[in-house]
Amino acid sequence: MKFPLFASLLGSLLLSTVVLAEEIRPGVLRTPDSRFENLSGYDFEPNYAMVRGYRIHYLDEGPADGEVVLLMHGEPTWSYLYRKMVPVLNAAGYRTIVPDLIGFGRSDKPMSMDTHTYLFHVDAIAELLDQLNLQDATLFAQDWGGLIGLRVVAENEERFARVVISNTGLPAPTGSESGSSPAFQNWKAMNQRMIDNGDIPVGTMVSTSANDPSVKDAYDAPFPDPSYKAGPLIMPQRVPQSIDYPGAVANAAAWEVFRKWEKPFLTAFSDSDPITAGGHVIFQNEIPGAQGQNHTTIEGASHFLQEQKGEELAEVIVKFMQDNPL
């Protein structure tokens, strides 16, 4: 993930404006709808479901009888990230389901970091898919969307027909030492300082990585003040880096599923993401369904490639689905 120097981030923290939080019940916040008005390119109708006691928001666009593409965002983004891809997929005849993880976007926001465990988010998305009764879906996932989405696929194989991933992974360490990149270790240390300071400059981070200052306000919109940010703050610390981390054993079990996965599996990583560089190789080598696929590198894009190359990425998904029909 490409971020400015910590000094710049800390400056953004100090400049943040604190407003009165809207607590819908003790320990749970809900972002006012007014925060999401007039966002450029994002004029989709909201949909809501109750999941594990929280209201979760999702987009449901395109033909109701179309094949489903499930688009999963990561940390610290939300469904706004997919505004350039949804119209392309809909025009090709596909139905797009785009959830906001609990704690992100228009979904409810638990104030305690303890709520935001790996298992909590996996179970929440699995429950949403049960409610929507999705069948023969194609997953597209990036960042934490992949860590969560790939677990959901492995634990609910019958709901999925294909998988596409970008700039993500499924870490399943088996020893005491982490195999994560130095870039991720640096990001994790920077994130810990954010936790210590009680805030994370979401909009600044995403807009800087995407090299587009115009998107800053949209990524800040879900978080009126730092009390809303428990999810974005803690998620980098939840990535399993040793067998002792919660989620490591379940991820290893998911890998056993994928090492037998015959359904189509595609990687479409970007060329300029230091966090996940080279992460596509294990998927291409280990997953049977990845053999013979037209794996793609999206050029001229960093971590949030949906921002920089969203339309191109959507076309890659369309071609992959057309080349691998049900």
Q: How many angstroms separate the Cα of 79 from the Cα of each of 56, 63, 254, 256?
A: 12, 19, 25, 30
Q: By C-alpha distance, which of 169, 140, 125, 145 is closest to 73?
A: 145
Over its C-alpha atoms, the chain yields an Rg (Å, rounded) of: 18
Is 273 marked active-site?
Answer: yes
Q: Say which of 108, 116, 273, 280 is annotated catalytic.
A: 273
Is 73 marked active-site?
Answer: no
310 burial (CB, 10 Å; 0-12 / 13-18 / 19+) is buried
Three-class SS state of 57: strand
Place of tokens 């189509």: 264
Q: By C-alpha distance, which of 34, 4, 320, 32 is closest to 165?
A: 320
Q: Say which of 57, 121, 280, 303 is annotated catalytic.
A: 303
Q: By C-alpha distance, which of 174, 176, 122 is closest to 152?
A: 122
Residue type, 51: V
Euclidean distance between CA atoms 136 and 236, whole angstroms? 31
Is 33 marked active-site?
Answer: no
Cβ atoms within 10 Å, residue 260: 10
Q: By C-alpha distance, which of 95, 74, 83 is closest to 36?
A: 83
Q: By C-alpha distance, which of 15, 5, 31, 209 is closest to 107?
A: 31
108 burial (CB, 10 Å; 0-12 / 13-18 / 19+) is buried
Q: Say which of 100, 143, 199, 220 is annotated catalytic.
A: 143
Active site residues: 143, 273, 303
